[in-house]
Amino acid sequence: MLYHSLNGKSKSVSFKEATLNSIAPDNGLYFPEEIPLLQKQFFENIENTSNEAIAFEVMRPYIGNDIPDKELEIILAETFDFPFPLKRVQDSIYSLELFHGPTLAFKDVGARFMSRCMGYFLKNNTKPVTVLVATSGDTGGAVAHGFYDVKGVEVVILYPKGKVSEVQELQLTTLGKNITALQVEGNFDDCQQMVKKAFVDAELNAKKYLTSANSINVARWLPQQLYYFFAWKQWPHKNETPVISVPSGNFGNIASALLSYYSGLPVKHFIAACNANEVVPQFMEHGIYEPKNAVSTLSNAMDVGNPSNFIRIMQLFEQSLPRLKTIFSSISISDDQTQKTMQKVLETFGYLTDPHGAVAYSALEQYLQMHPSSRGYFVETAHPVKFLDVVKQATGIEPTLPTNIIGLMQKEKKYIQMENDYDAFKTFLMEN
């Protein structure tokens, strides 16, 4: 499989190069030259197929010859070694829980897969690689955990000061070793901007081998589509295709969901559920794509004003808004609605959502009100304990902490403070 740059000015590369480069030299995102089509038989047998075997079938064509089968099987088994349960919340709404990994958010899958692929590709490498990653909250912890102690890899995480939750900050600042956290005076977009600038800085790139662990990287982006195959495997109404609501920020997760659909997965409709950062909902309504500054909300991992992966979605639909509209909607949910949803879903159905899942639940509910004969599931992207304050405020209850979180709370946070200033960031990278 070859990957081409969406800016169209760089040459196509293999999975390995796309992973190591992260972004093409012309600054474009990499995109697969073809979307593999899965056999009917694969879907007919899916209920009796193990998650590892499903993952292998789906991912194999994307990797090409860059990783031998035996090695890929090991990487996939390690990536997907926790459960992805689809739970019934009420008659028409299910929850796909993606928070059973080590840092309690869905980003563990992409981070684990990418770190293992990089570890394999860099096995005999002599020049150390620096992974730069901007985080709105959950990426940092997942990437820190995925890359912790991987030989030959230094990780630098940029996170916005005061805009990530306590548990999120602990997860990305307490590991040490090859993981360094930078606390930036700014928002997520500022962090992402600095990272993007570093990649095209010739002086810096002459000194360091830089790559990114954001969802722009194909190795983080592609394995996320497996969630939707695992959900279909468990979907109890096989004669009705589900409506799928995905809480969306940088649009990596939903873009991967759309890949699964192009590979043949049965889906009725996709909803990209957003918070007040509504660039995509506005685009769907008015046809004008206008990036904005991110605003802070209760679902902080989705506070993105210029979602990087939306361009991949447009590529899938050949830049046609009418075509996109046939299968995809985007709905914006306010903080007030988010809180009310958390409260209502807990009181009525005894199910506790995190704020991101609540945004997706609320958007799905709105959609189903207009399409009453449909059913669907929302994606519960993080464990509610990652957002203790928000959960407590919305529902009045304090969820019990898993033991790994209790241990985390006894650790000391270590980070370097950084102005929202590219030159300061560059100096730091040049000197470290």
Ligand X SMILES: *Cc1c(COP(=O)(O)O)cnc(C)c1O
Q: Does 227 bind ligand X (CB under 6 A)?
A: no
What is the contact mask toward ligand X in residues 351 to 370, using x (rule: CB under 6 A)?
A: -----x--------------
Among 156, 218, 258, 382, binds ligand X (CB under 6 A): 382
Nearer to ligand X, 21 or 381 (CB): 381
Shortest distance, position 338 Cβ to ligand X, whole Å = 12
The window from 228-236, 250-258, 321-329, 392-400 that contacts ligand X (CB under 6 A) reads: 250-258
At 118, list the tokens: 């990089």
Residues of this chain, 95-114, that bind ligand X according to CB under 6 A: 105, 107
* Shortest Å, Cβ 133 to ligand X: 12
Query: Taking Cα atoms as reference points, which of 333, 342, 245 lies closest to residue 297?
Result: 333
Binding ligand X (rule: CB under 6 A), the pick from 95, 171, 187, 253 is: 253
Q: Which stretch binds ligand X (CB under 6 A): 241-249, 283-291, 390-398, 424-432?
A: 241-249
Say whether residue 247 binds ligand X (CB under 6 A).
Answer: yes
Q: Out of 66, 97, 108, 138, point to the residue binding ligand X (CB under 6 A).
A: 138
**Nearest distance from C-beta of residue 301 to ligand X, angstroms:** 3
* Residues 6 or more apart in contact with residue 231 via CB below 8 angstroms: 84, 86, 96, 242, 244, 377
Span interacting with ligand X, options 41-49, 55-63, 245-253, 321-329, rule CB under 6 A: 245-253
Beta carbon nearer to ligand X, 138 or 189: 138
Q: Which of 173, 215, 341, 353 binds ligand X (CB under 6 A)?
A: 215
Rounded Cα distance between 265 and 238, Å, is 12
Residue 111 is inside which H or E element, if any? helix 107-121
CB closer to ligand X, 133 vs 382: 382
Please state the closest distance from residue 103 (CB atom) to ligand X, in A: 9
Q: Which is nearer to ligand X, 55 or 164 (CB)?
A: 164
Q: Applying CB under 6 A, does 135 fall inside the site for ligand X?
A: no
Binding segment (CB under 6 A) for ligand X, from list 2-10, 81-89, 120-128, 242-250: 242-250
Strand bridging mode 179-184 / 153-160: parallel
Kindly state whether residue 377 participates in binding ligand X, applying the rule CB under 6 A.
no
Q: Are 367 and 271 in contact (CB under 8 A)?
A: yes
Structure tokens at 46: 């899916």
Among the listed residues 248, 277, 339, 395, the single contact to ligand X using CB under 6 A: 248
Looking only at residues 385 through 424 of this chain, which bind ligand X when binding is defined by CB under 6 A?
none
**Neighbouring C-alpha atoms within 13 Å toward the C-beta of 160:** 22
Q: Which amino acid is at 324?
A: L
Q: Which CB sits closer to ligand X, 154 or 303?
A: 303
Residue for token pair 């394999």? 120
CB of 333 to ligand X, least distance (A): 13
Instruction: For tokens 């996170």, name the residue.
Output: 159
Is residue 251 close enough to count as binding ligand X by CB under 6 A? yes
Q: Which of residues 140-199 bind ligand X (CB under 6 A)?
A: none
The binding site for ligand X (CB under 6 A) comprises 105, 107, 137-138, 215, 247-253, 301-302, 356, 381-382
